[in-house]
A and B are shown apart, each in its own frame.
Chain A
Amino acid sequence: MPANSTFAFDAAWVLAPGAVLILAMLGLTGWQLARRGLAWPETAGLVILRGIVLLEILLLAARPVSVQSVGQHHEPYVAVLMDRSLSMSLRDGHQSRFGDAYDYLKDKLAPALLKQHWKIHPWLFAESSKTASGDEVTAAMTTVDGKRTNLAGALLQAATSSAEPPVAIVALTDGNANDATDNYKASSALLERGIPVYGIGIGSDAGPPTLALEKVTAPSVVPAKQQFRVAAELSVSGSSDLPSFELMLLRDGQLTQTKTVTAFSGSRSWAETFPVTENEEGRHNYTVQLMPPNVDPLVIGQKTGTAQVNISNEKDLRILFVQGTLTWDYKFILRALHSDPAVRVTGLSRTSDHSTYRQNVEKAGELIDGFPTSLEQISPYQVVVISNLKATDLTPAQQNVLARYCGELGGGLLLLGGAETFDTSWQGSGLEKLMPVTFDANPGLTALDKPFHLKLTDEAMRNPIFQISDGTDNASAWQSLPSFTQYGRVEKAKSGATIWAEHEEDVGPQGKRILMASQNYGAGRSAIICVQNFWRWRLAKESDPAQFDRFWRQLFRWLGEAGKQTVLIDFANQELTPPTDLHILLDRQMSAADVANTGTSTPKLLNIFTVSVHGPDQKELYHNSVELPPNQPVPITVHAETEGLYSIVIKDAEQREVAERNLQLVNNRVELEHTGRDMENLKQWASLTGGKALAIEDAQDAAELVESMQKQVQLMEKADATRLPWGLNGWMLSLLLGCIALEWLLRKRWNLL
C-alpha cells in the first residue's frame, strides 16, 4: 500500500499572530540599534540573526508534523456483496429480492461508483462467498438457493482477500444472517483495515406470507386396533388471505387420507389431525404432505414431515393410581381408560388412616403394605398418579422412591389435587422437586373461588395430548368444558416446565394462576393438574365423553412413554441440518433388574444392545452391538447426508426393542424461518464500521450514497494517517544556538553588550 508524506502544523493558528509579533519585535530591535548609532549593515545583520531565532521558535510553537497517509488507494474499489441465499429468492414485489438487488447494482449503484472513479469488485455469498464477474452475477439470478446466510463471512472475505482493501463494502442483502460464526473475525478485520460497511436492505420488513408444515407428530407406540392421531403442525405468517389447500397422509409412501384446510386470513399456528387405526402390529412411517395453494406471493417452507409409529400390543401401560380417599375423578378416569385394553390401572385408595383399598392388583401381596417403599415395588408401573394426597401423607422414604422412579427409571408422575390438597406441606418437600411448579406459601382463601373455566395455552393446543377433537373444532371442544369451582394454588412454573392451562382470570404473585403444567424430570416426566372434579366434564349433559376419554388416554400415554424407553436417545447437535454428523447419546436407564442386581456384578449380557440407525428410504447407516452400562451415556456418530426421516432403534440381547427415536432432518427451514428484512443487523454492521444502513427504497439516490461514502472514506483516511513531529532535531537546535551565539559575538565586538 502506498504511503504519501505531507507537511502540516498541528497549531497553525499560532503562525499569523506570531509573525506579527516577530515583525514588531524585529522593528523595535532595529529602531533601538539605530538609536545607538549602529550602521545600517550591522543593524540589519543583527536583526536578521534575531529574526531567524524568533522564526524558528515560532515554527516549532506551531507544532510542525510530517503526515504519512496510509489510506490513499492507488486503484480505489468498492466490494459489492450480493446475497444469493434462499431468502433472497422471495418476492416482495414483482420480482425476487435478488432481482431487486441486481437492478439496483446495475442501474444505480454501479454508475454512481464509476462516476467517482471507483472500481467495483462484485462478490456472491450465501453460506460461503466468492468473487464474481458481472456475468456470474447475472447468471446467479437463476440459482438463488444458498442454504444459509453468512454475511459476516462475506464481509471478512471482502475485507481481507487482497493486499489493498476496498474503500468500502456495500452489502445488497435482506440482512437475514443465520450464520454468526465469523462475526468476531469480520468485525476485527473491518476495524483494523478501516473499511466502512454500507448495507442496503432488500425486501420488505414484513416479508411475504409464508406457509409451512412445522412438524408431524404421532404417538410412538400404539396398540393395534386402537385409533390414534397423526398431527401436522402448520403455521402461516403474514396477513393476506389464504385459500383452502390440501394435506395428504401417506402411510409408508402410499396415500391413505386427504384433508382440506378451509380458507382463512391472518397469521396462526395450528394442528390438523388424521385419525388412524391399524389392525396389525408393525412399524409404519406416516408422512404428511402439504399441497400449497397457488397464491402469489406465498412462501412455502417445509412441505413434508414424517412420524414413525410402532403398532404393538406388547407395550401395555400400567398405572398406579394412589388417592387419599375415594374420588369421583378416579371412577371417571377409569372409565376413560376402560376402552384401551392395553392400559391397566391399579388403584390404591386410603379408606382410613390405617387402611387402604386395593383394586386390580395383579399379584398376591402386591401393594399389601400400601404405597411402594422401594424401586422394585414401583418399577412395574409406567405412570403413578398421586391424587388428593398431601405431601405429608407420604414418608420421606416414599417420596425418595418416587423421585428415583421418575428420575432414574423414567416413570411418569401425575399430581392431581385441588384447593384442599396443595397446602404449605408441599413447599420444600421431596415431591415438589419433581414437579413442574413450586407451591404457594400463601394460597389465600380458596373457598371464595368463583366458578372458572380452564384456559389452555398455545403450547397445549399444539400438543397432541390436547387434541381431543378433529382439526379446527378442537379449541371449541376445550372451551365447552363445564366450569370448575375450586383449584389448588401453585406459585410459579419452574424453568423448563411447560404450562398447559391457566386460570382465565385469577392472578397470583407470578402471573396467571397455573392449572396444568408438565416437565421432563431426569429420565421421566411429571405433570400437575390443580383442578379436581374433572368428572364433571364427562358427566356434563352437553359434553362428548369420547373427548374426555381421549384426553386422559393421551395424557397417560405421554406420561408413560419415557418409562418405556429403557435407553434414552438424545442428540448432542445444536443444529440438525444435513449434511451433518449426528452425535447420538445413548443413556441406558437403571432398570428393575439393575436394581435387583445392586451390590452384585451386573451380568454383562444386560448391558449389551444392538443399535441400528436407518436413514431416508430405510437405508441402514449404522448397525452395531454396543455396551450400555446403566446411567453412563455412550456416544455414537452417524453421518446424515440428506434430509428426511432418520430412525434409531435399540434392541436388547434378546432382540426385543427397548427404545426408538425418530429424527426429521430438513435443510432449508432456517432460511425461511424469518422472511422479513432485518435492517437491525445491517445497522449494527454499519454502526460498528462507520458506514450506513439503508432500506433499498431509501437508497434510490445512489450518487448521494456514494458521496457520503466518499466523505466517510476521507474521514477515515484522515483518522488513520500517521502524524510525526517535525523539527525537533539537532539541526534545528544547532541553528538556534548558532544564531544566538553569533549575535552575542557580534554585539560584543561592536560593544553593544
Chain B
Amino acid sequence: MEPLIVKFMHRARFLLVLGALCLIALPMSSAAQSTDKFTTFFVGRLKFSQNDGDDCGTVAQELGHLLGRASTIEVQDEKKIRLADDSMFETPFLFMNGHNDFVLSEAELANLRKYFTHGGFLLGSGCCNAPGFPIAWRREMSRVFPGNPVRKIPYDHIIYRTFYKMDRLRALDKNEDVQLDGLFNGDELVAVMCEDGLCCSFAMGNECNSGRGLAPEDGRQIALNIAVYALTH
C-alpha cells in the first residue's frame, strides 16, 4: 500500500499538469471567440483642448447599451482619442462633450475636415446645459467647412426617425423645442450636437442636470436615433 504522501504527490502532480493545460487552453479558447474589434460599435471619446473626455464618464457604455436595443451589433469599450491622433481615422464614431468653451487648432480642424470627408461621424453634447460648450462647438465646427456653418437640423430630417419616430423634442424646463445642431458636408450630415444635456439625459439619468434639458427617455431615444443614423447614412 502506497503511503499517503506518495498518493498526495501523484495527485498534486496530476493537478499541476491539469492546471497547466487549462492555462494554455484558456487564452486559446478566449482568443477563438474574440471579435474583430472593427466589426463592432465602439465610441472614440475625444480629448480636446483642456477636456480629457471624462465628463459623463459612462456615456459610451450607455450609448452601447442603447444600441443593443436596435441591433445585434457587438459593442466594445470606448477609446480615448486626441483630435490630432491618427487613430481617429480608425474610429468611425466620435463623441465629445463638455461644459466649457474650447478652441480647435488648425491642425485639429484639418484632421476633422479629412475625417468627415472620409465618412466619419461626430456626436457632441453639452453637459448640464452649460452654455460654454455648445457655443464653442458651433463656432469651431463652422470652421471645418468654411462657408458651410453649423445649422439647426429640422424635424423633417431622417435623424429624428431612424429608429424611434420623434416628431419633436421638448425641453423639461422651457416651453420650447430642442433642436439638434448639425454640420453638413454637402448634403451629408457629418456631425450632430445637442446643447441641452443630451449626455446627462441618457447616460446619467439626468441627475446632474435635474429639471433641465431632455427627459431621460427622450434622451435615450434621440441618442439611439443618432447612433443608428451614423451606422446607416
Contacts and interface: CB of A to CB of B under 8 A. Distances in A.
Contacts of B119: 331-332, 335, 535, 538-539, 545
Interface string B47-85: 000000000000000000000001111000000000000
A325 B38 CA distance: 14
A185 B89 CA distance: 70
B31 A357 contact: no
Contacts of A338: 188
A545 B118 contact: yes
Nearest to B69: A351
Interface stretch (B98-106, B166-174, B195-203, B224-232): B224-232
A460 to B, nearest CB: 23
Contacts of B228: 326, 357
A325 to B, nearest CB: 4
B117 A545 contact: yes
A447 B92 contact: no
Given A328-B92, A536-B90, A539-B92, A445 B32 contact: yes
Contacts of B148: none
B81 to A, nearest CB: 13
Given A331-B233, A533-B39, A540-B89, A326 B70 contact: yes
Given A326-B70, A532-B36, A448 B231 contact: no
A328 B67 CA distance: 13
B28 to A, nearest CB: 7
Given A325-B73, A533-B36, A539 B118 contact: yes
Contacts of A532: 36, 38-39
Contacts of A388: 39
Interface string A317-350: 0000000111110111011001000000001011
A393 to B, nearest CB: 11
B39 A420 contact: yes
Nearest to B91: A539
B113 to A, nearest CB: 12
B134 interface: no
24 contacts: A325-B72, A326-B228, A326-B232, A327-B73, A327-B231, A331-B119, A331-B230, A335-B119, A338-B188, A351-B72, A357-B70, A418-B36, A445-B31, A447-B31, A485-B37, A533-B38, A535-B119, A536-B38, A538-B119, A539-B89, A539-B118, A541-B114, A541-B118, A545-B119
A217 interface: no
A543 B90 CA distance: 12
A541 B119 CA distance: 11
B92 to A, nearest CB: 5
B35 A420 contact: yes
Nearest to B93: A328
A708 interface: no
B38 A324 contact: no
B89 A331 contact: no
Contact of B36 (A330, A420, A538, A539): A420
Contacts of B188: 335, 338
Nearest to A328: B92
B126 interface: no
A532 B120 CA distance: 17
B28 A351 contact: no
Given A328-B38, A338-B188, A539-B120, A359 B33 contact: no
B34 interface: yes
A352 to B, nearest CB: 6
A419 interface: yes
A357 B92 CA distance: 21
Given A328-B92, A331-B92, A447 B231 contact: no
Contacts of A539: 89-90, 92, 115, 118-120
Contacts of B120: 539
A330 B230 CA distance: 11
A445 B30 CA distance: 11
B145 interface: no
Nearest to A324: B72
A46 to B, nearest CB: 112
Nearest to B70: A351
Nearest to B158: A359
A439 to B, nearest CB: 18
A330 B33 contact: no
Interface centre among B37, B71, B92, B233, by most chain A C-beta atoms within 10 angstroms, is B71
B86 A541 contact: yes
Contacts of A334: 232-233
A131 interface: no
A325 B36 contact: no
> Which range holds the interface residue count of chain B?
20 to 34
A717 B86 CA distance: 87
Nearest to A539: B118
A445 B28 contact: yes
The A interface is mostly helix, strand or loop, or mixed, namely mixed
B39 A418 contact: yes
Nearest to A532: B39
A324 B120 CA distance: 22
Interface in A421-474: 445-448
A408 to B, nearest CB: 31
A210 to B, nearest CB: 43
A485 B38 contact: yes
A325 B70 CA distance: 9
Contacts of B35: 420
Interface string A407-418: 000000000001
A349 B92 contact: no
A176 interface: no
B155 interface: no
A331 B90 contact: no
Nearest to A332: B119
A543 B118 contact: yes
Contacts of B33: 447
Contact of A540 (B41, B73, B118): B118
Interface in A292-335: 324-328, 330-332, 334-335
Contact of A485 (B36, B72, B118, B230): B36
A620 B63 CA distance: 65
A610 interface: no
A448 B118 contact: no
Contacts of A448: 31-32
B230 to A, nearest CB: 7
A447 B34 contact: yes
Interface string A484-499: 0110000000000000
A351 B232 contact: no
B11 to A, nearest CB: 32
A425 to B, nearest CB: 17
Nearest to B34: A447
Nearest to A533: B38
B99 to A, nearest CB: 30
A347 B70 CA distance: 14
A535 B37 CA distance: 13
B100 to A, nearest CB: 29
A371 to B, nearest CB: 15
Contacts of A446: 32
Contacts of A330: 231-232
Pick the 4 closest A-B CB pairs, nearest first. Answer: A533-B38, A541-B89, A325-B72, A326-B71
Q: Which of B31, B37, B70, B120 is the most central at the interface, judged by chain A CB atoms within 10 Å of its CB?
A: B70
Contacts of B118: 538-541, 543, 545
A359 B31 CA distance: 35
